[in-house]
């Protein structure tokens, strides 16, 4: 695969928009769950750092660059290059952040998520959904094509829990190269047992599933999708198995519209997860993108090819926007490499 996006959409977007919904949870702080931050505590800063990198080109309110413990940079670098080169506008959404970025963010008044083993992972799920919908109703009158990414450390564990409550078998991907599926499954089983919820028990009540075992990003994105689709805008969820979980919620809620999913090849080709199988079984269309990192001589970027980082901050969907705007894989790679070198220089 050498193309930026496969397939390319067969329509033009007149007023494309990228949105990024950000959340923090205590689930992310369970040891060895997330590599989205050098330590579990630092995952609180990852969403803020991600969107400051995209918007400002540097971190401002966070102490360290959101690099993985292995030294691979956050996918925010991909998102930044893709949005810059395609000149796509962006709107950032705070759905339960513990650390705010120093850029304009839409506040949905969500509180950060708790540990999913606590008995209530997300407070005020209906309010978050409704605020997402309100925002979507307005944005859907301005943009005809909205790509929604997320930055939610620990999100593949909450995604796994949601998929299981909604009766979907399949592994979620991971920000860690050796996907800790065993650990994630133990955490999820413990959480579900504690609330006496079994596999498929919440198929008819997806927002209850989110309340018990999800994260605050999920109802925000589902609500956004509802509001956007009410205005006939096309919606692409940008992410890996975390967004598959949101798709499952959207389908269970009966939200109808032109909704699809876009992710990177690093997720799509991840043999430890089941991206395509799950998207197919839900009945949605998937776009797969490739920033061409195998052509790089930067080890941090080659880490993506080794599976050390796979997706996040809507990187796959941002690449789709770039591909639709006629940006080439080589332009993306050159821009990401240049930005990576600048960041490393500045931080040493």
Which residues sit at the interface with its own copies, rule CB under 8 A? 15, 17, 55, 87-91, 94, 100, 102-109, 127, 131-132, 134-135, 137-139, 141-143
Take residue 225 and report the two structure tokens written for it: 């999708």
The nearest distance, CB 105 to its own copies, in angstroms, is: 5
Query: Phi, psi at residue 182, to the nearest 5°?
Result: -60, -50
The nearest distance, CB 64 to its own copies, in angstroms, is: 21
The nearest distance, CB 84 to its own copies, in angstroms, is: 12
The nearest distance, CB 225 to its own copies, in angstroms, is: 15
The nearest distance, CB 102 to its own copies, in angstroms, is: 6
Is residue 236 within 8 A of residue 250, CB to CB? The reply is no
Burial of 347 (0-12, 13-18, 19+ CB in 10 A): exposed
For its own copies, the closer of residues 3 and 127 by Cβ is: 127
Gap between the Cα atoms of 216 and 175, Å rounded = 19
The nearest distance, CB 23 to its own copies, in angstroms, is: 15
For its own copies, the closer of residues 141 and 285 by Cβ is: 141
The nearest distance, CB 94 to its own copies, in angstroms, is: 7
Beta carbons within 10 angstroms of residue 342's beta carbon: 12
For its own copies, the closer of residues 133 and 179 by Cβ is: 133
For its own copies, the closer of residues 91 and 249 by Cβ is: 91
Q: Provide CB contacts within 8 A for 322, sequence distance 6+.
A: 4, 5, 81, 82, 83, 85, 86, 88, 332
For its own copies, the closer of residues 223 and 292 by Cβ is: 223
For its own copies, the closer of residues 89 and 326 by Cβ is: 89
Phi-psi region of 254 (alpha: psi -120 to 50; beta: other; left: phi over 0): left
**Inter-axis angle of helices 181-194 and 206-213, to 10 degrees?**
110
Gap between the Cα atoms of 29 and 235, Å rounded = 31
Residue in 280, 267, 241, 54 with CA at minimum distance from that of residue 161: 241
Question: Collapsing DSSP states into helix, strand and coil, what is residue 261?
Answer: strand
For its own copies, the closer of residues 91 and 343 by Cβ is: 91
Take residue 75 and report the two structure tokens written for it: 């996918």
Token pair 């901050």 in the structure block, residue: 313
Gap between the Cα atoms of 109 and 200, Å rounded = 30
């Amino acid at each position: 695969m050498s193309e930026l996006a496969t397939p390319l959409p067969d329509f033009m977007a007149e007023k494309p928009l990228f949105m990024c919904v950000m959340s923090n949870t205590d689930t992310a702080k369970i040891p060895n769950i997330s590599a989205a931050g050098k330590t579990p505590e630092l995952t609180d800063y990852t969403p803020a750092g991600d969107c400051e990198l995209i918007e400002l080109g540097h971190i401002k309110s966070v102490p360290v660059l959101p690099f993985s413990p292995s030294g691979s940079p956050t996918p925010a670098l991909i998102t930044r290059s893709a949005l810059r080169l395609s000149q796509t506008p962006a709107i950032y959404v705070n759905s339960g952040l513990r650390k705010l970025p120093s850029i304009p963010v839409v506040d949905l008044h969500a509180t950060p998520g708790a540990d999913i083993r606590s008995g209530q992972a997300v407070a005020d799920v209906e309010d978050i959904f409704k605020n997402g919908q309100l925002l979507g109703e307005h944005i859907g009158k301005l943009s005809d094509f909205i790509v929604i990414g997320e930055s939610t450390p620990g999100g593949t564990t909450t995604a796994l829990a949601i998929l299981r409550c909604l009766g979907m078998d399949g592994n979620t991907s991971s920000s860690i190269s050796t996907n800790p599926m065993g650990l994630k499954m133990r955490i999820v089983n413990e959480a579900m047992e504690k609330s006496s919820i079994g596999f498929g028990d919440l198929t008819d009540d997806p927002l209850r599933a989110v309340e018990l075992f999800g994260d605050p990003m999920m109802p925000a994105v589902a609500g956004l999708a509802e509001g956007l689709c009410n205005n006939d805008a096309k919606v692409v969820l940008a992410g890996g198995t975390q967004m598959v979980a949101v798709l499952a919620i959207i389908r269970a809620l009966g939200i109808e519209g032109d909704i699809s999913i876009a992710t990177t090849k690093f997720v799509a080709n991840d043999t430890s997860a089941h991206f395509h199988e799950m998207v197919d079984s839900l009945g949605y269309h998937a776009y797969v993108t490739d920033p061409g990192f195998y052509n790089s001589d930067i080890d941090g970027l080659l880490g993506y090819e080794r599976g050390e980082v796979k997706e996040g901050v809507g990187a796959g969907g941002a690449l789709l926007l770039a591909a639709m705007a006629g940006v080439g894989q080589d332009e993306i790679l050159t821009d990401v490499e240049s930005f990576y070198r600048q960041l490393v220089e500045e931080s040493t």
